[in-house]
Amino acid sequence: VYRQDGTIIWVSESIRSVRDADGTLLYYEGTARDITEQKQTEAELRLERRTSERLILNILPQKIAERLKRGRSRIADHFSEGTVLFADLVEFTQLADSISAVELVDFLNQIFSAFDSLVDRYGVEKIKTIGDAYMVVGGVPSYQPDHVEAIAQLALGMQQEILRFQRPDGKPLYLRIGIHTGPVVAGVIGLRKFVYDLWGDTVNIASRMESHGEPGKIQVTADVYQKLKNWYDFEERGTIEIKGKG
């Protein structure tokens, strides 16, 4: 309603009808209470809740966030199939030493934001960044029948995207990318600054594919090759020694 000075307030009204002996309506009577402050508080709480939910969804997959909101204190799942990708900027240490901290963070933010857009496009799940490393999984926590191909497309897209960036000295940037597919365990651990993370041999091998890979190349395991050989071109690298695997 409007006050006499033209300002608008919210009111809560409690009203009853007054009738004569024959039931004819005579008038209404009741009270009106100013609840403007209450409505403002409710609006602020709704805004804070939406902001909190957006923050949670930026940290956790939607399905996992919903389970936590329902009171699930323990999140741990086994997936028989998942495809894990690790990507790493080549010679990042030298790059970090050549520019200021602010420039470095801004540079990484531009690159990883471009990768985030590709992750959304292919429907896979970004897990985390570790320094200059970027970790993604397909088929987890939501079922995705083409998760191996989706990760392959992501990897190719990332290699194209990195071409848009240059080091401060004008030299090109290169990515090492490693991919492996297989069973994984996923869940949320800790009470503070918790993250949705992955564990298992599949994760370790994908990481080794990246760390033992070559600049500008996407190194995959035989399991990935078998699933994609009819749709993509591969080049056999030959036998290499993988730490902890032989």
- The answer to whether 173 and 182 are in contact (CB under 8 A) is no
What pLDDT, on a 0 to 100 scale, did the predictor assign at position 218?
A: 98
Query: How far, in Å, are 13, 31, 234, 243 from residue 218 at the CA level?
Result: 68, 73, 10, 18
Distance between CA 111 and CA 132 in Å, rounded? 10
| 114: exposed, middle or buried (Cβ count in 10 Å: 0-12, 13-18, 19+) | middle
16 Ramachandran zone, left/alpha/beta (phi>0; psi -120 to 50):
beta
Low-confidence ranges of the chain (pLDDT < 70): 56-58, 71-73, 191, 193
Distance between CA 126 and CA 146 in Å, rounded? 16
What pLDDT, on a 0 to 100 scale, did the predictor assign at position 243?
A: 83
What pLDDT, on a 0 to 100 scale, did the predictor assign at position 116?
A: 96
Distance between CA 118 and CA 43 in Å, rounded? 35
What pLDDT, on a 0 to 100 scale, did the predictor assign at position 72?
A: 67
What pLDDT, on a 0 to 100 scale, did the predictor assign at position 125?
A: 94
* Closest to 155 measured CA to CA, from 233, 204, 217: 217
Q: Which residues, 6 or more positions from 227, have their beta carbon under 8 angstroms from its beta carbon?
A: 148, 149, 181
What pLDDT, on a 0 to 100 scale, did the predictor assign at position 73?
A: 66
Which secondary structure element, helix H or strand E, spans residue 98, and what is its range?
Answer: helix 92-98
What pLDDT, on a 0 to 100 scale, did the predictor assign at position 182?
A: 97
What pLDDT, on a 0 to 100 scale, did the predictor assign at position 179?
A: 98
| pLDDT tens-place string over residues 191-216 | 676 788 999 999 999 999 999 999 99
Q: Which residues, 6 or more positions from 11, have their beta carbon under 8 angstroms from its beta carbon?
A: 1, 32, 33, 34, 35
Residue 231 has a CB neighbour count (10 Å cut-off) of 9
What pLDDT, on a 0 to 100 scale, did the predictor assign at position 164?
A: 92
